[in-house]
Structure 1
Amino acid sequence: MVRAGLSPERLTLAGAELADEAGFDQVTLSALARRFDVKPASLYSHLKNSHELKTRIALFALKEMADRVAYAVAGRAGKDALTAFANAYRDYARAHPGRYEAARYRLDPQTAAASAGPRHAQMTRAILRGYNLAEPDQTHAVRMLGSVFHGYAALEAAGAFDHTDIAAQESWAWTLDALDAALRGGSAP
């Protein structure tokens, strides 16, 4: 029997909230069942297993993040677009650490292709149009930006920048200036 009020969508949102509170690695069907005060077996009428739950949370986070980034970069170009793009990722990671981690959950190729993941790559390439990079430099730049944004967010979340007198925000601004300068410089030697 399906419990009233429970649905895959409601369980996904609750799982995303649990990820933000306890960490994505703590999201299980058992933990989610405790949240709804039901037995874990009662969730199996909505979800196959924890992997499906984690995949659904990853898809939810990818879409939510893509929507925020799209809104942030709309009508912007060049460094302004780069900064808005980067800040949208960083702000999302700080506001939703578990969801942000979920967005990096390994998806099978078919699920990844149907997710908002390709939208992220398209938006990255869109902001790079202002820098007039040809291939293969554009692909290198996409990878560089992703590495810097995700790396910075991960280090910041781990408290790696808490041990100096220089504020993380100051280093973030410096990093974005350096990225803009590197991208304006064109291809690397």
Structure 2
Amino acid sequence: MPRVGLNQQIVVREAARLVDEVGREQLTLAALAGRLGVALPSLYKHVRGADALAQKLSAYATAELADELTAAAVGRAGVDALHAVAAAYRAYARRHPGRYPATQQVPEPADPDHVAAGERAVGVIYAVLHGYGITGDAAVDAARTLRSALHGFVSLEAAGGFGLPRDLDRSYDEMVASLDTALQGWRRA
């Protein structure tokens, strides 16, 4: 018997909480069912299986990240927008160590929620780049550079990959300042 009030949104939201606690590799349908207090077969009424849950979790996390990036960028331009978006990106990754890796999953073309969330997140990056006068194909290259730098830093930080005795906040700020310099001199389309 399915738990009264249980729906796909609740299942995915609880999966997001669980993945932050136990890590993405430890997220299983059985663990989620136990967390929700339902029998494992009951979950199949809300998600088709582990792959479908991973896709829905990715769409959910990407939408959350897009919301936070958007809120950070509103009313800002240029270096101010870059710093605000970079700070929001890192804060999300730190607050949600299990969800953040799910944001890096390539959207399933058949999942309109995931595609829309991804487009919103990338749209914020393009808006930041537009503030630097970077548009067109140059914006694609610059967006890839910016995303690679931010993702690389937060992923290494999460994995404990920075062992030198230097303040990580300072290093992050230096990286963002370097990105600002690079974007100011970016070849335009």
CA RMSD in angstroms, aligned pairs only: 1.6
Q: CA deviation at 1:50?
A: 1.1
**Is this contact kept in 1: 2:19–2:26, CA < 8 A?**
yes
**Is this contact kept in 2: 1:77–1:127, CA < 8 A?**
yes
Q: Which residue of 2 aligns with 1:87?
A: 87
The answer as to 2:120 corresponding to 1:127 is: no
Q: How many residues align?
A: 187
**Is this contact kept in 2: 1:62–1:115, CA < 8 A?**
no
**Is this contact kept in 2: 1:27–1:54, CA < 8 A?**
no
**Is this contact kept in 1: 2:81–2:128, CA < 8 A?**
yes
Q: How far apart, in 2, do the equivalents of 1:129 and 1:169 lie?
A: 26
Equivalence map 1:86-125=2 (5 Å) = 86-111=86-111, 114-125=115-126
CA, structure 1 residues 134+37, in 2 after alignment: closer, same or farther (shift >3 Å)? closer
Structure 1 residue runs without a partner (length 5+): none
Deviations 1:47-104 (A, max 9, x none): 2111111111111111111111111110001000001111111000000011111112
- Range with greater deviation from structure 2 (78-87 or 32-41): 32-41
Q: CA deviation at 1:134?
A: 4.3
TM-score normalised by L of structure 1: 0.93
Structure 2 residue runs without a partner (length 5+): none
Q: How far apart, in 2, do the equivalents of 1:171 and 1:8 lie?
A: 40
Q: Percent identity?
A: 40
The answer as to 2:138 corresponding to 1:141 is: no
CA, structure 1 residues 16+174, in 2 after alignment: closer, same or farther (shift >3 Å)? same
